[in-house]
Structure formats: C-alpha cells, structure tokens
Amino acid sequence: MTPLADIPSFVLDEPYFYIHKTAVADTGFGSDNQAVLIDGGFGLYSCVNLRDEIGPLKSNVYRVALCLRGSVDVHIGLEKFTHEPNSIHFHTPNQLFWLRNKSADLDAYYLVFTSDFIDELLTDSQLAAAYPFFDYQQVPFFRLAQNEADAIKALLLDISDEVLNHWPDRSRRIKLLLNLIFITAKRSYSRQRISPGSASVSHSPLVTRYKKLVGQQYVTRRSVKEYADILAVSVSHLHKMVKDETGRSPGELIDDMLLMELRALLRYTDLRMSEIAYQLRFTDTSHLAKFFRKAMGASPSTYRRKHRLG
C-alpha cells in the first residue's frame, strides 16, 4: 500500500507559479514579475493576479502570508481561517491547502520557501521547536497588533528590495530577514498566550485536536473509534462534541478530508482512477466514484474535465 507521504504534491518550481498566479506582473514588488525562484526555493509575492481559488492541493513549501486589507478564506486540512487586516498565517509542507472567497479589495503579501532554502539557519524540526506556529499541533493563524503588522510589513518590503536588486549575498540576507519575521511573530504569539486551548481558538481543545489528527491520518485511519481511542474519550462523547461545534459528525469530517484529497488529485494530477483509488484506499474505482458522486453530484471524470487547471 502506498504510504501517505507518497501522495503527489507540488514542488516549488516554475509551473507552481501558475497554480497560484494567473500571470507575471510588473508591480515593482518581490517575485511578481518572474516565475523563477531565488536559489530554486524562495519567492515573495503580492496578491496581484492571485487566482480567485487555489486548491485544494498539497505542496512541499512553507508559506507565510500577511493580510493588509480585505479578506480571504484559507483552509488547512479541516481547519478554516479567515484572513483579515493584520492577520498572519504560517503553513507547513504537505498539508492540504485551499484558498477561496477572496474579496475584491484583498491586499496581502505572501512568501513561500522550501526546507532546503532555510536549512542553513534551521532544519524543519528546529523551525517547529523554535516557532510554535510552524508546529502542526499548534495554532498557525493569528492577528497581530498594528505595530507588529507594520514591523513585519517593513521586513517584507526589505526582502522585496533584496529580490529586485540582486545585491551580493542576497539569499543570506533574505534568510536573516525571514528569521526576524519569525521572531516578531513569535513575540506576538507569546504576548497573546496563544495555544490550541486559548480563547483565540474557535473550537475546544478536543475538537481542535481531533481535526488535526484527521488532517494527518485520514487516509490510514477511517474509523472514528480509532481517533476516540487516541484522544482517550468515548465515541459518543467525541461525536457530541464534534457535532455540536462543527455541525458535522466525526465520520463526515473524515470524508471531508478524503474528498479534498480526491479533488486535488483529480484537478492537479494525471493519475488514473485506479491509481487514485489505490492511494486513497478505496476498495475499487466504483467505490471511489460512488463516494465522489454522492458528495459532489458529478462523476470524478466530469469533475476533472471541468476543473482541470490549464
């Protein structure tokens, strides 16, 4: 059986640019005017030419976004966040990501980078240990005070100058500026005492942890009882808590994750239905098709033809 880690994900290369942007643009900011990445692993963008909807998809990148104006919904697995002015978001590799409901006045900066780009400063494990918002089990999305948002915006503009001017040692300085962004964000995170159980989080610790577990293990664990055992609660208690807080049953949330993965594979890969069924552990293609049609009202092949990017 193919492990979860082998499910295809997008790498940060030139074709990836056109997954989140419709075209290059001469904005005078960051990497907006080129699809080529710095050292093959870093890009900084405004939201000019940002697609109205991105995903659901997986990629091998870290992503950091700062909203200046307007709003947009961001889904990370089963967790939904809404970017509004002064909100910041940190996204780690190989999570299902989905951006939609972009307001017409959205103004935001975002950057993407690979593990290889940043590992001169910090490895993946060191990054998560040093900065809790890069730990999948913690809170990746929070709102900054105005002075904190202004400080991070200034650092992003400094990075933009490095990108545009090709100065000596620009990659090293970009990495140092990235670290200053992380430090500034961590100070805000600590000041607000943010944690999965804090008042800033919309769900109870139990439901938040359930959603995170499902977001990581939905392919290999399909039974609600397995999750209840991990969480040391009864199935009935888990069902009540999840249903009361989300309006969905625990089993429906597992199906929601499978559906997002399935849509990503249909839209962004050329895998045959039999390969998708195998990777997502459906018994066969007819089982997959029945599951998809019930949720989406269309067959997988029809969905692929209609929504295939490019």
Q: Measured between alpha carbons, how far is residue 1 from residues 6, 164, 179, 219, 270 in Å?
A: 10, 46, 39, 11, 19
pLDDT digits (tens, 9 = 90+) for 15-68: 678 888 999 999 999 999 988 888 889 999 999 999 999 988 888 889 999 999
The total number of residues shown for the chain amounts to: 310
Exposure string for 101-124, b = 16+ CB within 10 A, e = fewer:
ebeeebebbbbbbbbebbeeebee
Q: What angle do CA 11, 5, 207 make, to 5 degrees?
A: 105
pTM over 0.95: no
**For residue 88, which of 189, 174, 177 has the smallest C-alpha distance?**
189
**Spatial CA neighbour of 98 closest among 257, 304, 289:** 257
- Structural domains for the chain: 4-191 (2.60.120.280), 206-307 (1.10.10.60)
Q: What is the pLDDT at residue 240?
A: 97
What does each of the 310 residues of the chain score in pLDDT, given as a tens digit? 333 434 444 444 556 788 889 999 999 999 999 888 888 899 999 999 999 999 888 888 899 999 999 999 999 989 999 999 999 999 999 888 899 999 999 999 999 999 999 998 899 999 999 999 999 889 999 999 999 999 999 999 999 999 999 899 999 999 999 999 999 999 999 999 998 766 455 678 899 899 999 988 999 999 999 999 999 999 999 999 999 999 999 999 999 999 999 998 998 888 999 999 999 999 999 999 999 999 999 999 999 999 886 5
Could you give the percent of the chain with pLDDT greater than 90? 73
Tens of pLDDT, residue by residue over 269-295, are 889 999 999 999 999 999 999 999 999
The whole-angstrom separation of Cα 275 and Cα 50 is: 31
- Find out whether the peptide bond into 56 is cis, omega within 30 degrees of 0: yes
